[in-house]
């Protein structure tokens, strides 16, 4: 009798277990709605299955900033790829490419000399105000460029070399500098626009200058006014590139004032691409203003250029200045000639 009872208890237990398994659905079925789509509120749902089905993870949250309720979205992944891969490629190719071209060009062409030698007579090329604006903008630009490139290239290039603590401290100061120097830089771009616009509108002379290779590519010295076509390009790169960089930069500095996530991502793309191309263009400008051309740097340093330099590179401007009688003797430049 006892044996029969034990046997019946076992069979009853087994039946009960079978019933429970047959009415409770498996876990995977729990994650799906009746139409077989994923049920995002199911407790056992996995993040990657949600992502692959819905392509975004968002929900409800109680903090005031409702944007924080979206944790992942396709545009965010596209932007991250741009930031971490595409921009690095564009920047790397543009900057290393221009440096390689400048070195090759220097090796082939060398410094463009003042062919007639120094005359020892000088023309005023830039006023003290123009030089102050130029150097303020240039100093800000160089610091903005270095600190900005740190945002794009710092993690892969500097972090392994500096270590986490030093890189964090440097990056924090770099970010302060990047934010605050944007204001004098923007002022400099506005002043450059206003003070040199009159000499930077395109003319017929520019077409001829470009056709002749500008004197730096070939050996000819086509006529040019105060600024030649190459300098006018630099001017417009500074004005338009600087304008685009400033506008997109302020959108990033004051996030979500009149912008949404898509606009913020667009602002970052415009800012990053314009910045790396701007840096590449300015490397070309710095080359011509220093080792690329004899006699150019002093015009922006002490404000005067040798009369023969002016005749060679800016003949139309030199003629006008000569007609005004604005050529003076320069003991300083004469001494430099003797020393060379």
Determine, following the binding rule CB under 6 A, whether residue 123 of this chain makes contact with ligand HEM: no
Tokens of 21: 């398994």
Give, in order, the Cα–Cα distances in Å from 85 to each of 80, 104, 106.
Answer: 8, 28, 31
* Ramachandran angles phi, psi of 303, nearest 5°: 100, -10
For residue 327, the surrounding DSSP H or E stretch is: strand 327-329
Determine, following the binding rule CB under 6 A, whether residue 149 of this chain makes contact with ligand HEM: no
For ligand HEM, which residue of 31, 112, 141, 251 counts as binding (CB under 6 A)?
Answer: 141
Determine, following the binding rule CB under 6 A, whether residue 297 of this chain makes contact with ligand HEM: yes
3-state SS, residue 33? coil
Determine, following the binding rule CB under 6 A, whether residue 131 of this chain makes contact with ligand HEM: no
Of 311, 215, 272, nearest to 84 (Cα)? 272
Residue closer to ligand HEM, measured from CB, 167 or 185: 185
Determine, following the binding rule CB under 6 A, whether residue 99 of this chain makes contact with ligand HEM: no
3-state SS, residue 293? strand
- For the bound state, the minimum distance from the C-beta of residue 103 to ligand HEM, rounded and expressed in Å, comes to 17
Determine, following the binding rule CB under 6 A, whether residue 290 of this chain makes contact with ligand HEM: yes
For ligand HEM, which residue of 51, 90, 142, 210 counts as binding (CB under 6 A)?
Answer: 142
CA atoms lying within 13 Å on the CB side of residue 17: 6
Region near ligand HEM per CB under 6 A, out of 15-23, 50-58, 132-140, 316-324: 132-140
Q: Is 117 left (phi over 0), alpha (psi -120 to 50) or beta?
A: left
- For the bound state, the minimum distance from the C-beta of residue 79 to ligand HEM, rounded and expressed in Å, comes to 27
Comparing every residue's Cβ against ligand HEM, the nearest one is 289
Determine, following the binding rule CB under 6 A, whether residue 235 of this chain makes contact with ligand HEM: yes
Of 85, 95, 72, 148, nearest to 286 (Cα)? 95
Determine, following the binding rule CB under 6 A, whether residue 138 of this chain makes contact with ligand HEM: yes
Region near ligand HEM per CB under 6 A, out of 7-15, 50-58, 77-85, 229-237: 229-237
- For the bound state, the minimum distance from the C-beta of residue 141 to ligand HEM, rounded and expressed in Å, comes to 4
- Which residue has tokens 């790397």? 92
- Which residue has tokens 């049920």? 39
Determine, following the binding rule CB under 6 A, whether residue 275 of this chain makes contact with ligand HEM: no
Instruction: Provide the mask over 151-190, with x wherever binding to ligand HEM is found by CB under 6 A and - wherever it is not.
Output: ----------------------------------------
For residue 23, the surrounding DSSP H or E stretch is: helix 2-23
Determine, following the binding rule CB under 6 A, whether residue 311 of this chain makes contact with ligand HEM: no
For ligand HEM, which residue of 122, 133, 174, 238 counts as binding (CB under 6 A)?
Answer: 238
Tokens of 285: 């400008």
**Beta-carbon neighbour count of residue 322 at 10 Å?**
15
Tokens of 82: 């741009």
Site residues for ligand HEM per CB under 6 A: 125, 134, 137-138, 141-142, 192, 227, 231, 234-235, 238, 282, 285-286, 289-290, 296-297, 299-300
């Amino acid at each position: 009798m006892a044996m029969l009872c034990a046997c019946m208890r076992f069979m009853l237990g087994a039946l009960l277990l079978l019933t429970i398994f047959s009415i409770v659905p498996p876990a995977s079925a729990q994650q799906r709605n009746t139409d077989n789509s994923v049920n995002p509120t199911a407790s056992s749902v996995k993040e990657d299955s949600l992502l692959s089905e819905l392509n975004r993870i968002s929900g409800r949250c109680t903090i005031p900033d409702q944007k924080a309720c979206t944790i992942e979205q396709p545009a965010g992944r596209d932007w991250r790829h741009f930031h971490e891969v595409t921009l690095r490629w564009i920047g790397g190719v543009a900057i290393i490419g221009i440096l390689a071209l400048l070195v090759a060009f220097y090796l082939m062409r060398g410094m463009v000399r003042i062919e007639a030698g120094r005359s020892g007579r000088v023309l005023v090329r830039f006023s003290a105000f123009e030089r102050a604006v130029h150097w303020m903008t240039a100093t800000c630009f160089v610091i903005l460029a270095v600190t900005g490139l740190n945002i794009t290239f710092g993690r892969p290039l500097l972090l392994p070399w500096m270590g986490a603590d030093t890189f964090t401290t440097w990056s924090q100061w770099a970010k302060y500098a990047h934010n605050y120097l944007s204001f004098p830089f923007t002022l400099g771009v506005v002043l450059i626009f206003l003070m040199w616009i009159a000499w930077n509108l395109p003319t017929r002379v520019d077409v001829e200058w470009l056709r002749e290779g500008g004197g730096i590519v070939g050996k000819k010295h086509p006529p040019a006014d105060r600024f030649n076509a190459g300098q006018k390009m630099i001017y417009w790169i500074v004005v338009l590139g600087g304008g685009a960089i400033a506008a997109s930069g302020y959108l990033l500095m004051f996030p979500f004032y009149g912008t949404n996530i898509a606009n913020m991502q667009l602002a970052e793309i415009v800012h990053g691409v314009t910045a790396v191309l701007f840096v590449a263009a300015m490397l070309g400008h710095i080359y011509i203003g220093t080792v690329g051309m004899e006699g150019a740097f002093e015009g922006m340093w002490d404000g005067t250029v040798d009369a023969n330099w002016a005749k060679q590179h800016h003949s139309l401007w030199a003629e006008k200045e000569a007609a005004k009688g604005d050529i003076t003797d320069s003991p300083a430049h004469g001494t430099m000639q003797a020393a060379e």
